[in-house]
Structure 1
Amino acid sequence: MPWPPATGACAVDAWEDVVAPDAGSYHTVGLTASGRALAAGDNSYGQCEVGGWRDIVAVAAGSTHTLGLRADGTVVSTGNNADGQCEVTTWSGIHLP
């Protein structure tokens, strides 16, 4: 892949302390030990716009969307919502086993 990435792509300066990575079709997300989300790759649908996510305990990358589970049990999302996959703002009380 040529660097810098093509238009519509995103990148982070450093992937340090990543404890949980996940991959979508053309983007990758990561969770750091401090609860921050990172993302890099194709951002055509905004699926990499996780820069403000904090207190995250789990991340998941869909084909063109990204989900994050916060420590308080709420879910955040970004990216393509063509089929309602990002309509998670009312989800709460979700916890990891």
Structure 2
Amino acid sequence: MALDAGSYHTVGATASGRVLAVGDNSYGQCEVGDWRDIVAVAAGSTHTLGLRADGRVVATGNNDDRQCEVDAWSGIQLP
């Protein structure tokens, strides 16, 4: 369904809404095993974002610049 690559990791979302990630996990950017109902993914250099079917966003990895602070985001839609 979706695929993206960061500087040192690759992430993909399956048709069932699960997410897979491989590569450098120094910042926890590959810690996506418990994500469900994901319809899109994006990979930064050291962080990963997922868009859930209900419009919420999840994130993991390096948060030094607060790039993973998306807990309050909702209503996000694909174009």
Same fold judged by TM-score > 0.5? yes
C-alpha distance in 2 between matches for 1:20 and 1:93: 19
What residue ranges of structure 2 are gaps of 5+ in the alignment? Answer: none
Alignment of 1:1-97 (within 5 A): 19-97=1-79
How many residues end up aligned between the 2 structures?
79
Q: Which has the higher contact order (CA 8 A, sep 6+)?
A: 2
C-alpha distance in 1 between matches for 2:26 and 2:76: 29
What residue ranges of structure 1 are gaps of 5+ in the alignment? Answer: 1-18
- AA at the equivalent of 2:9: H
- Structure 1 runs of 4+ with >3 Å offset: none
- After superposition, the C-alpha distances for 1:36-86 in whole angstroms (9 at most, x for unaligned) are 110000000000000000000000000100000000000000000000100
Seq. identity, %? 84
Question: When the two structures are superposed, what TM-score results if normalisation uses the length of structure 2?
Answer: 0.97
